[in-house]
Amino acid sequence: MNNRGYPLKRSISRFLVLAPVLALTVGLTGCGVNAIPTKEETAKAKWADVQNQYQRRADLIPNLVSTVGAYAKQERAVLDEVTQARASATQIHVDSSQLSDPAKVQQFANAQGAISSALGKLLVANERYPELKSNANFLALQAQLESTENRITVARKDYNDAVRDYNTTLHTFPGVLWASTLYHSEKPMTPFEAASTAQAAPKVNFDIAPPASK
């Protein structure tokens, strides 16, 4: 009889020991102890999306420059500017551990803005070449560039929303409690602010009449 009751007593004893731990765990979860790392990882994932879309644009540029160059060799200066802007931008890398450094994030934004500016000049210059505008490869590149610029805009917005959410959690109750104790090393992240020369995506419009000859 006593032996049969021993397992039950042992189970009850274990439960009494673990109950406070379980209650504490549930309580901490309910108080948002996991909010900071969860939102931090979300922001990092959104930053990866931003980088992926900019890389997608960078991958399009060599083919775009080659196609345009075949029809518009006299636009060499503009083509060189696009190529150089791409080369400079691909040298700048900002990983997720550097998102709390405003200078690093802005350096990345400025480099991408230089590409946007150069592409804008290139697309305007292309209006002078009807043969280029009817080239199948160029039309495909036009569509891909247009799509990529739209994706970049969405990715930047999603990243900024995630950063705003994360930063707000660090400075509001109850997140501020965890930020000053368990996560005291965590710092606010930097939102993406496009360079003043690239507040909007380059307009891909090939219906403008070419400039009148003098």
Would you place residue 182 in the very low, low, confident or very high pLDDT band (cuts 50, 70, 90)? confident
What does R_g of the chain's alpha carbons equal in angstroms?
27
* pLDDT score for 196: 60
* pLDDT score for 194: 77
Q: Over the stretch 120-131, which tens digit does the pLDDT of each residue have? A: 999 888 888 999
Instruction: Give the whole-number percent of the chain exceeding pLDDT 70.
Output: 76
Which residue ranges form the domains of the chain, and what is each CATH number?
Answer: 38-198 (1.20.1440.20)
Note the pTM of the prediction, 2 decimals: 0.78
Q: Over the stretch 100-114, which tens digit does the pLDDT of each residue have? A: 999 999 999 999 999
Handedness of CA 149, 198, 92, 89 (dihedral sign): positive
Structure tokens at 96: 């997720």
Mean local confidence (pLDDT), 26-47: 82
Structure tokens at 54: 């900019």
Highest mean pLDDT among 14-18, 104-108, 190-194: 104-108
